[in-house]
Structure 1
C-alpha cells in the first residue's frame, strides 16, 4: 500500500516546507524492508501547502495544475468516461483535479476501487480528502496551532507538523481496551481523527466539514427467489474477480487459505480465473485450534500449489515488537501474528500479491452474532403485556436461574431488554468492568465510558430504515472490517513485503450483496445460509459444513505453557504501570491471570502488552 501526507496552511518558507514534507513522506515508509521506496517519493511544497505520495506498489501519483495539487494512491476505477480517459492518458491525480473542478466533493462518488485521495485548492485555500468505500485505505487528520489542516495515511506523519500537540488521554486508552483497536473516527491522539469508510473531509475558511459520499444501498425488499439470486451472485462474483485480477501479476499470485468458507472460495476463484496460484495456511500442533486439514482439503480440491507452516510460541516472541512498530496506532488482535507468517511464507516463495477473503462475513451475513441476535428477537413474539406482568416476574423469582429450561428463558429476557446495538457488546470484558476500579483517580475525571458504544450507535443507526440484520452488517463493515481485519491484513502483508487484494470488497459485489433481501440472505438460523447454498458443487462439502474458525491463535494455551512468551507479555504489562493510567492492583491481577489456566484476563494482558510496546516505539 502506498501513502499520502500533506497540509494546507503556512509552515515556514519554501525550504522549511520542503524539508517538512520530506519528513512526513518518510513516515510513510515503514521499516527497513521499505527503505528502497524513498527513491520513489513524489512531493510538492510551497509556503501555503504541501503534498507527498509514496507509490509502494506503483499505484501512487501526484499532479499539479494551476491552483490545484492532488495526490491519489491505490486503485481507482473511474465511473465517468472523461475522467477515466484522463486517468489513462495522464494519471489518477490529474483526473481528480478535473473531477473536482466539475463536481466538487461529488467527484468521490465517481471513484471505485481501493484508494485514498487528497486535493489542495491553493487559490481558495481549501483541502478535500477521502478514502474508498470499504476503508481498505486510511487517512487521519488534525488542525494545527495556526489553523493549518494536516493529513496523512499515518499518525506519525501528522505528528511531525511544527507546534501540533499530540496527547494520549485516559479516554483513548479506554477506547483501545474496549475494542483492542482504536476505533474510527477517533485516533489514539486526542488531536487527531480518522476517516471512516466512504467518508470525505473538506477544510475551507478554517473550518472542517465532513460527510459520506456513498452508503450501502440496502434493499427494502422483503422476499426473493434464492435460485435466481444464486445465478445472479455467480455472474457478479466472476465479473468482480476478474477486476481484482486485472490489478495483479497473475504469475506471482497467491491466496490466504484458512480452510473456511471465504478463503476457500477465493482460492477456488483464483484457480478458476487464473488457472494457477499458490495458497498459504497456518497450522498449530494444538488440535483444537488447528484448521490446516480443512485448508489442505480445499487446496487438494482446487489443485492449488499449497504451502503451510506450523507455528510455535517462539514465532510470536520473534515478531511482537515488529508488529507493534509497523502500526501507527496500537493494535491488539493477536491473530495478526498468524497473518504475518502466512504473508511471510508467500513472500519467500515468490508471491508478490495475496488474495484475502476478508469482507465475506460482513456482506453475506457470516458473523455468529447475527444468528444469536435473531434468536433473541424471537422473544418479542410474546405479547408485551404477557411478558411484563406474567412471564418476567416469574423468571426473576429466586432460584429460577438454576432451573435448566427456565434459566435459558431468563437469560433470553435479560438480553432482549438490552437495546441494540449495545446488546452485541454485553459480552465484552472491558464493558463489564467499572472504570473507577481500574483507572487511577487522576484519570477518572472526564472519562466517558459511553463513548465506545456511542460510536457503535452512530454507525448502527445510520441505516435506520433498514432491517436489523442489515444494520448489524453495516456496523461490522466499520467496526470489525475496516477498523480491525483490514488493518491487520494490510499491515501484516506490508511487514512481509507483499501486496494484498480483497475480492469480496469489489464495489459491484458489495452493492450486489446489499440488494439481497434478508429472508434470502439469512432465512433461518443457519450461518451463511444463502452463500453456502450458492457455493454447493463448487466448494467441498466438508467446507460447507465445518464450524467457523479462521486464523485463530492458541495464545491462551501458549502463555500458560511457554515461559518466555509469558515473561515477554507480563514484563510489558508491568512496564505499563509507569504510564500512570491504570491502577497497579488491577495490572497485577492481569499479570497473575497469565498464570491461571483459562483466565480471560490473559487476553487483556496481550492487549496491554501490545499497547506498551507500541508506546515504546512511537512515543
Structure 2
C-alpha cells in the first residue's frame, strides 16, 4: 500500500486487516503501524511521505509533504517528524491546524478516550482520503478499497457511482464506488464527536481582486513561481515536458533555479493530430534540456490497460493515464525518482478554451431582453426554416446560451446526447438519480466566492478537472512507475496570487491566460505562447480500429460488460459501429470509458 489507513472503534481484526492492506505482509518495508483495542493505524510510502505518531492520547496518521507555517510546528516536523507536528498542532490549535499548513497532505487524528476523530485533506486535493462511519466505527484510508475492506463497511457497489463514472469518466468526491464510503473534498475537514460526523471547509478560494499594477503583480508572480519550483525540486528530479505552456514554464523556471540544464521527458504519438513533440523539442532547445523522448505505440496501450485497472482504487476513465505512465516509467528507468508536472496552470490562470467559449454565450444576455425574446428567439425557432443554415447556427447558439452555466458545458456529454432509456437498462435508471451529476456541478459552481462566471468556472475546474481527474491521473500513474510527483503551479502561494488577479487578466477577450503569458514573455518561446491548446490525448479511437490485439481487447471487454445489465447492448453496438466511421476519436472516448470500467471490475473481483 501507499498511503494511510486506520479506524477508531473496537474491532478484533487488527492484525489481519493491516496485513491485508499491506499486501499480505504486516512487516513490509516502510510500513508503520499501531493498534490497540480501540483503534488501528497503518502508513506506508515508498517515497517516505507517510508517517504515524501516537502520544498523549492522540494517534495521528499522515500522508504527504506538508509545510508548517507555524515556526514551532515546523521545528517539530524537522526534529521529530511531520506526524508528531500534526499531533502537537492539534493539541494547540484543534480544528485551526489545517490553516497553519500548506502543501499536499491528508491526515487523521484519533482521540480514543474521547471517541473523537478528525480527517483533513489539502486545499488542492493532491492527496486523497476516504472514510466510512458505521455504528461506533470510523474507518479511513487513502484508498477507498482499503476503507471498504474493513468488516464494518463492505464492498457494496453504489449504482449512482456507476452512473457518475459514465457521466464524468471518474467518480467525483464525495461519492465513491462503494455504498457508505465517502471521499473528502479539497480543503475539507471531517470531525467525529459524540457519535456524529460533521463536515466543513477550512479553506475557500478567495477571488477578491487585488488592486495593483501589472509590473507589481508580475514581479510578485515571478518571485512566487521561482520559490515554488525551488521548493519542489530535489535529488534525482526530472520534469514532464509536453510542449504546452505549463510544463514549459516549470522546465524554464527549474532551469533558471538550478543555473543549468535539466532532464525532461516527453511522449509522442505517431498519429495525425495528436503528436506535439515538435513543441516539446522547441522548449527543450530553448532551455538546453537533456531531453528524453518516447513514442507511444498501440501495443503499449494493451500493456497499460491491466496496469491501470490494477493501480486505481476506483474505475478511472481518462485515457491520458497511458502516456503519463510511460513518460514516468521512462524517467524511472533513467534513474529519476521524482518529477515536476505542470498541472494546474490552466485552472488558476484562465487557460482552458471553454472559458473563452463561454464568454460568447454569456454575451447573449447583454442583448436587451425585449430584443432577445421578441426577435432573436422567434427567428431561431421558425418552423421549417430554423433547421437550415444559417438559422440552424443561430438556433444552436440560442439553445446553448439559455442552458446557463455550468450545465451548458455538459451539453455534449454522451449522457445528454441520447435519451437515457436508450442507453441504460430500465432497472438501472430506476436505481439512480440522473439529476445528481448536474446538481454536483451546480453546487460547486454556486459556492464560489465570486459572482463572475470565469472565476466560477475556474473554481469548478479546481474540483472536477484537477482534484477528481488530472491529479488522480498523474499521481496514480507516476506512483505506479515508482516516481513521486510534485505540482509547482499548485503551490498554495501561487494559487492565492492567481486567484486575486482581476478576471480580465485571466481571460482578456478571447485571449486565454493573458497575465500569465505576458509575465513570462522572457521565459517562454514565442511559438509556445502562441500555440493552440492541445492536451495529452491518446489516439485510442483510431488505433483500436487498426491494431488487432487492441481491437480484440475492446471487443472482449464490451462483450463482458453487456452481461452486467447496466447498459443497453444495442447502445454499445451503436458506439462500436460509429467508431468505425469518421468519428472514431469521438466515440472512442466512451468506448475507452466503458472498457476501463469492465477491466477494473474484473481486476478487482466484482
User: TM-score per shorter chain, which class?
Assistant: over 0.9
1:579 match: secondary structure: coil
> What is the deviation of 1:76?
1.1
Q: Distance in 2 between matches of 1:37 and 1:412?
A: 62
Aligned to 2:351: 366
Any residues of structure 2 matched to 1:404-423 within 5 Å, and which? 404=389, 406-423=391-408
Aligned to 1:342: 327
Cα shift readout 1:408-455 (whole Å, capped 9, x = no counterpart): 333222111112111111111122232222222222224200111111
Change (3 A) 1:43 1:449: same
> What is the deviation of 1:179?
0.7
- Preserved contact between residue 4 and residue 25 of structure 1 (Cα < 8 Å): no
> What is the deviation of 1:55?
2.9
Q: Distance in 2 between matches of 1:399 and 1:263?
A: 50
Aligned to 1:229: 217
> What is the deviation of 1:404?
4.8
Q: Distance in 1 between matches of 2:202 and 2:158?
A: 31
Any residues of structure 2 matched to 1:6-405 within 5 Å, and which? 6-12=6-12, 16-26=13-23, 38-144=28-134, 146-220=135-209, 225-245=213-233, 248-249=234-235, 252-274=236-258, 275-401=260-386, 404=389
- Preserved contact between residue 54 and residue 60 of structure 1 (Cα < 8 Å): yes
1:38 match: secondary structure: coil
Change (3 A) 1:170 1:156: closer
**More displaced stretch, 552-561 vs 299-308:** 552-561
Q: Distance in 2 between matches of 1:412 and 1:601?
A: 24
Q: Distance in 1 between matches of 2:395 and 2:472?
A: 39
- Preserved contact between residue 230 and residue 534 of structure 1 (Cα < 8 Å): yes
Aligned to 1:4: 4
Change (3 A) 1:586 1:405: closer
- 1:450 pairs with 409, 413, 435, which one? 435
Unaligned runs of 5+ in 2: none
Q: Distance in 2 between matches of 1:297 and 1:37?
A: 48
> What is the deviation of 1:168?
1.6
2:29 match: secondary structure: helix
2:265 match: secondary structure: strand
1:561 match: secondary structure: coil
> What is the deviation of 1:104?
1.5
Q: Distance in 2 between matches of 1:184 and 1:264?
A: 30
Q: Distance in 2 between matches of 1:526 and 1:587?
A: 39
Aligned to 1:605: 591
- Preserved contact between residue 259 and residue 294 of structure 1 (Cα < 8 Å): yes
Q: Distance in 2 between matches of 1:49 and 1:37?
A: 19
- Preserved contact between residue 178 and residue 431 of structure 1 (Cα < 8 Å): no
> What is the deviation of 1:286?
1.6
- Preserved contact between residue 170 and residue 581 of structure 1 (Cα < 8 Å): no
Cα shift readout 1:349-389 (whole Å, capped 9, x = no counterpart): 11111110000111110111000111111111111122112
Q: Distance in 1 between matches of 2:579 and 2:407?
A: 29
Q: Distance in 2 between matches of 1:468 and 1:26?
A: 47
- Preserved contact between residue 238 and residue 264 of structure 2 (Cα < 8 Å): yes
> What is the deviation of 1:190?
1.9
Q: Distance in 1 between matches of 2:572 and 2:380?
A: 38
Cα shift readout 1:212-267 (whole Å, capped 9, x = no counterpart): 1111111145x76333322221121112222212xx21xx2211111010011111
2:5 match: secondary structure: strand
> What is the deviation of 1:403?
5.9
- Preserved contact between residue 334 and residue 606 of structure 1 (Cα < 8 Å): yes
Q: Distance in 2 between matches of 1:436 and 1:170?
A: 16
- Preserved contact between residue 259 and residue 550 of structure 1 (Cα < 8 Å): no
Aligned to 1:30: none
> How many pairs align?
603
- Preserved contact between residue 157 and residue 178 of structure 2 (Cα < 8 Å): yes
**More displaced stretch, 412-421 vs 133-142:** 412-421
> What is the deviation of 1:37?
9.2
1:538 match: secondary structure: coil
- Preserved contact between residue 24 and residue 158 of structure 1 (Cα < 8 Å): no
Q: Distance in 2 between matches of 1:257 and 1:36?
A: 39
